[in-house]
Amino acid sequence: MAKKAGSGGKFGRLARALRWSGALFVSSKLPPRDSLLIVNYHRIGNAEEDLFDPGVFSATAEEFDEQIKFLKRNVDVVTLDEALAFVDGTQKDKARRCRVLITFDDGYLDNYELAHPILRSHGVQGVFFLVTSMVGSNRIPWWDKVSYMMKTGRKRRFSLHYPANLEVDVDRIGMAESLRSVLRLYKRPENTDPARFMREAAEAIQGEEPPTTVRRFLNWDEARQMSREGAAIGSHTHSHNLLSHLGPDRQYEELAKSRAILKEQLGVVADTIAYPVGKKDAFTDETKRIAREVGYRAGFSFYGGANLPGQTSPYDVRRFDIGPDLNRLRLELEIFRLTGHVR
Ligand SMILES: [Zn+2]
């Protein structure tokens, strides 16, 4: 899961300034920066249509299709193997290129139904990071459960006290911001008892239980088909717990078990792990050490940033979120070309 990109702030001002100054036109004549940019998506579809977390909807199918078309025209969209060769510094082709890798976290059913066919139609490989305990399940992950609870909640004003105090007033700051504040509270490293968090939140919010009769995650047959049709599969752990909340033994189990299950079910060796949530405080140096020990070639974070030659740490490969807007993606790439930075 992740938060949705906003359109204002520093980025919006910079984008407007660039547009007016004509810098976009000038920069498109610059050579590409030698780099690996990794775009991360979660769900494809229409966030308005359900009560689950809108923050994990990255784009509609139409928006996603436009983004892939745009990327194919403007950068080198690479496969996972090509990306890993860049990370390891073992790539044979040393030409300066702006490489872009497309990744998906969580393995929602829409990844199979919408994202995979779109990628296939463009001949582009996607990397899908699966949570092995959720594959094929009707499970409602915590972020979706919190969203459902809040959108059906009888309480519009409530206080939470674990793992820290938080006052929420939905009518004052709106549902989207209220939901983000509650999810931020959940993700705090002090939340070592997620069951307690959910119990207390349910009491305070008085929302409805989400239906558990609908399958929400792609299943093993679908994953096998995707893999046969060219998709790459990685691990997103076994249970999607925040790794920084776990001791070394449980971290080892999350990383090793998911890798073993992927091998058994799909016959593929997962070279990569995407750390759940992926923010700087969602994994630790210990996590990176364990990832290496378990046999992963690379670990992917998700707090923004580009990967540049000689400056890429294999167990903290950077990924970023672009949101649904094609203009934003276009500007993000232009800003990267000019400054060497992405958000
Ligand atoms: Zn995730």
| Domain edges within the chain | 9-15+23-139+217-295+310-339, 142-205
For 204-236, what is each residue's pLDDT tens digit? 999 998 988 999 999 999 999 999 999 999 999
Q: Is the pLDDT of residue 116 over 60?
A: yes
Of 3.40.1190.10, 3.40.190.10, 3.40.50.10420, 3.20.20.370, which CATH number belongs to 9-15+23-139+217-295+310-339?
A: 3.20.20.370
152 pLDDT higher than 50: yes
Cα–Cα nearest to 253, from 235, 232, 266: 235
In angstroms, rounded to a whole number, what is the distance separating the alpha carbons of residues 215 and 235? 20
Please report where in the chains the tokens 């490969």 appear, as a residue: 317
Answer with the residue of higher pLDDT: 268 or 23: 268
Say how many Å lie between the CA of residue 236 and the centre of ligand 1: 7
Nearest Cα to Cα of residue 300 among 270, 325, 326, 329: 270
The DSSP letter of residue 276 is: S
Condensed to tens digits (0 to 9), the pLDDT of residues 60-85 reads 999 999 999 999 999 999 999 999 99
> What is the value of pTM for the model shown?
0.88
7: pLDDT confidence band, cut at 50, 70 and 90?
Answer: very low
Q: How far is CA 161 from CA 67, 196, 204, 319, in A?
A: 41, 11, 10, 32
> What is the dihedral angle through the alpha carbons of 152, 136, 67, 143, rounded to the nearest 10 degrees?
30
Choose among 93, 69, 74, 73: nearest CA to 337.
74
Distance 300 CA to ligand 1 centre (A): 11
Report how far ligand 1's centroid is from the alpha carbon of 302 (Å): 10
Distance 20 CA to ligand 1 centre (A): 37
Ligand 1 centre from 105 Cα, in Å? 5
Residues within 5 A (CB) of ion ligand 1:
105-106, 276
Measured CA angle at 122 (ends 121, 123), to 5 deg = 95
Percentage of the chain lying above the pLDDT 90 cut: 77
What's the gap in Å between 22 CA and the centre of ligand 1? 38
How far, in Å, is the centroid of ligand 1 from the Cα of 147?
A: 15
Please give the distance, rounded to the nearest whole angstrom, from the Cα atom of residue 334 to the centre of ligand 1.
28
For residue 240, report the distance from its CA to the centre of ligand 1, in Å: 6
User: What is the distance in A from the centroid of ligand 1 to the CA of 30?
Assistant: 36
Residue-averaged pLDDT of the chain = 91
Task: Tell me the CA–centroid distance for residue 21 and ligand 1, in Å.
Answer: 38
- Rounded to whole angstroms, how far apart are CA atoms 154 and 172? 16
How far is ligand 1, taken at its centre, from the CA of residue 1, in Å? 4
Instruction: Quote the CA–CA distance of 271 and 235 in Å, as a whole number.
Output: 8
Question: If DSSP codes are grouped into helix, strand and coil, which group holds residue 172?
Answer: helix
Tokens of 281: 């405080």
Task: Measure Cα distances from 70 to 5, 37, 40, 95, 326 in Å.
Answer: 19, 15, 16, 22, 8
How much is the average pLDDT of 145-163?
96
Does residue 16 surpass a pLDDT of 90?
no
Q: Report whether pLDDT(252) > 90.
A: yes
Q: What is the pLDDT of residue 95?
A: 85
